[in-house]
Amino acid sequence: MEVIFAPFLSVLFIALVAFAVWATLFPAYLVIALVVGIVKGFLKNLRLSESVDKDLDDESKKFIAFLMSALVVIIVSNNSGWTFVEFGVLLGTAIFFFQIWRQAGGEFNFPRFRGRTAHPVKSDYRVTDLGKPIGEMTQSEKRAAAERIADTILQQAEDFKKNKE
């Protein structure tokens, strides 16, 4: 029984340690990014409220995440042995770094996926101008707007049918 569950338990333990490391690194990253943003704002002669509201540029975010990840990897690699804890820490650090890197605009450019788009957008869509937002319309204006939208959809369907034949 112990032999069967040993690999499962080791994977579970590595996953739990990885989550714990990510859950520690991410709030630390948020605090460090806030402090760096405030310091950058002060260097640009901004008020504190403006510094807090202003977001860091993507390169600074990636650099902070890289430094934090590198520090954790250096600390872990200086240990004497490799146990499940070290593997979990490295996995959590990698997940943290790639999360921040992806949020900051990083892209994966694998040749297999390069030419595809998730949702191809056709250039034949139509925008119907309703005049003002729906929330500000009266009931009669909403009915007229619904009729305009229905006419646009009907016309687009008829054009599609003509082009298909």
Q: What is the pLDDT of residues 41-98, one digit of tens each?
A: 888 888 887 777 777 888 888 888 899 999 988 888 887 777 888 888 888 898 888 8
**Look-up of token digits 């600390």:** 75
Could you give the residue ranges of the DSSP H alpha helices within 44-165? Answer: 48-53, 58-77, 84-103, 139-164
Q: What pTM does this model have?
A: 0.57
Percent of the chain beyond pLDDT 90? Answer: 0
The two structure tokens encoding residue 30: 């948020």
**Closest alpha carbon to 9 in 1, 121, 163:** 1
Q: pLDDT category, 110, cuts 50, 70, 90?
A: low
Radius of gyration (Cα) for the chain, nearest Å? 27
Residue 146 CA neighbour count, 13 Å, CB half? 7
Centre a 10 Å sphere on the Cβ of residue 127 and count the other Cβ atoms it contains.
Answer: 6
- The percent helix, strand, coil of the chain (3-state, each to 5) is 70, 0, 30
pLDDT at 118: 57
CA–CA dist 108, 124 (Å, integer):
30
Mean pLDDT of the chain: 81
CA–CA dist 143, 126 (Å, integer):
20
Q: Specify whether the CB–CB gap between 123 and 134 falls below 8 A.
A: no
